[in-house]
Structure formats: structure tokens, C-alpha cells
Amino acid sequence: MIAERGLDLADAKQVFSGFYLSRADTKHSGEEQRTITVGMINDEVVVIVVWTPRENERRIITMWKANEKERQKYYEQRDRPG
């Protein structure tokens, strides 16, 4: 599924090395805590990553390219002064 989206799940960790926004995924968390994070990979592609904490790591569940509205919100927050 990830390959069909033109993404490599191994790249998802790049999101956490730059500016990113996260929120709890209360709709899909169920038994495990899930988080939705928007950030950038390869210094050019804004993506959405869904992940869950596992010990001292993040287990990536899925990732997809952000839509126009999601990209706009990301850039507004990233480029906000202060």
C-alpha cells in the first residue's frame, strides 16, 4: 500500500528530525495509543504519519502524502514567526 502511494515507510522517521505537528488519534486508538503527525520527508514531501509508541521507539503504522489543506496548515504553522 505504501509503495502504491510512492512512499517508502523507512523514510517516515525523517518526519521527526524536522518541524512537525502531532495530535492524538482518539478515533482509531482503541487498545493502543495512536498519534497522527504531519511533517516532511526528503526535504520536499509533506506527509501524514500514524504511529504508536513502543518502548523507546515509534512504531509506524501508515503514511500518506498530505493533501492541499493539510500542506497549507503545516506550512502556516512551520513558517509562523516566533
The pLDDT value recorded for residue 6 is: 84
Statement: residue 2 has pLDDT above 90: no
Print the domain residue range for 44: 3-77
Find residue 35's DSSP bridge partners: 24, 51
Q: What is the CATH number of the domain that holds 51?
A: 3.10.450
Residue 54 lies in a domain: yes
Residue 35 lies in a domain: yes
- Residue 4's pLDDT band, with cuts at 50, 70 and 90, is confident
The pLDDT value recorded for residue 30 is: 76
Counting the structural domains of the chain, the total is: 1
65-76 residue pLDDT tens: 999 999 999 999
CB 48 within 8 A of CB 64: yes
Specify the pairing of strand 57-65 against strand 21-24: unpaired
Q: How far is CA 25 from the centre of its chain?
A: 12
Coil, strand, or helix at residue 69? helix
Residue 71 lies in a domain: yes
Residue 82 lies in a domain: no
5-46 residue pLDDT tens: 789 889 999 999 999 999 999 887 778 899 999 999 999 999
**DSSP label of 4:** G
